[in-house]
Structure 1
Amino acid sequence: MTLRYIAMPDDVAEQLQQGGHDAYGNRPEQNISDGDGVPCRHCLRNVEHGEPYLVLAYRPFSSAQPYAETGPIFLHADKCPAPDGNARPAILTASTEYLLRGYGADERIVYGTGGVVPQARIEERAEELLTRPDVAFVHVRSAKYNCYQCRIEMRVL
């Protein structure tokens, strides 16, 4: 099985970087990175010391529904390139553990799939979940704050 790491869509990132509104209808807040713990959800790299970044509410789902969690994320203030999705992104190497949770094609949580896993087991656990017929994708979230990091799907070869 080959995994694909999916970042925030380009059009969503660009809209926010150009002053668009977040999931709550607010303009993102802008700050300057201290270089520690500011993972961008578009390029999936950390925002380096001295670089501007945005803080905003993000809902990584196609519609507002009961399971469509919305929460705070960081985004480079300036345009940044999305990764190709072939390798584990840099932001998933910063912590010792992450929360992984499976979702069905209807974007609802598949109960029994959520749990905190050590960083070294991200791929193994994602593969376990994605082999289930009821799991269409997996969210990776911060184990400490539940902040959305990225989405994992099976790569279609």
Structure 2
Amino acid sequence: MSDGSFAIPTWMKWKALPVPLDPTFASAATSRTMTPATPVPCRRCLHDTVQGQEVILLSYDPFLGDSPYRSRSPIFVHAEDCQEYGTAPNKDESMPLQQRSRMLSIRGFDEHSMMVWAELLEDAEALRMCEEMLVGGGCEYIHIHYARYGCFAVKVERRRAEK
């Protein structure tokens, strides 16, 4: 079910981490398994955890190529496999609630992975900015981070034709 003001255009994709998570991520020296006292955002299902749920906090590099902007960022994932965002039965057509409820750092990159646009926004303004950046802003893809703690949230890109 989609809230109209947060409906993701059909040509745009919110790209979550795959499930199951690559085991090299969870076994890395930079990861920690923990049970936070408050809900945290899972990077696979794009839902906040329930209080008391076990999560893995790890360092993640969302870049596919080399760039001066390339860096690792903290992310949380459920310790148990969860349903990847955008796949049935988690197939939603709207901006995930976890992104609607937080201040976001939105960073647009060109085809050379050079940052060409950056904004701090929240709620429906963030979705509208992503559209603007991908349509006429010279951005090939967007990285969204949670502005307060700096955790990587999601990659946004143009949806590719299914083969």
Quick one: which of 2, 8, 15 aligns to 2:23?
15
Quick one: which of 101, 117, 134 aligns to 1:94?
101
Match of 2:83 in 1: 81
Residue 57 in structure 1 maps to residue 59 in structure 2? yes
1:14: how far off?
Answer: 4.1
RMSD over aligned Cα atoms? 2.2
Residue 28 in structure 1 maps to residue 31 in structure 2? yes
Quick one: which of 92, 113, 116 aligns to 2:120?
116
Q: Percent identity?
A: 24
In structure 2, distance between residues paired with 1:135 and 1:10: 27
Give unpaired runs (5+ residues) of structure 2.
Answer: 1-8, 87-91
In structure 1, distance between residues paired with 2:134 and 2:47: 24
**Which residue type is aligned with residue 128 of structure 1?**
E
Give the match's secondary structure for 1:127: helix
Residue 131 in structure 1 maps to residue 135 in structure 2? yes
Query: Which runs of at least 4 in structure 1 moved beyond 3 Å after TM superposition?
Result: none
In structure 1, distance between residues paired with 2:44 and 2:65: 20
In structure 2, distance between residues paired with 1:14 and 1:154: 24
Match of 1:142 in 2: 146
Q: TM-score, normalised by structure 2?
A: 0.79
Give the match's secondary structure for 1:120: helix
**Which residue type is aligned with residue 15 of structure 1?**
P
1:5: how far off?
Answer: 0.7
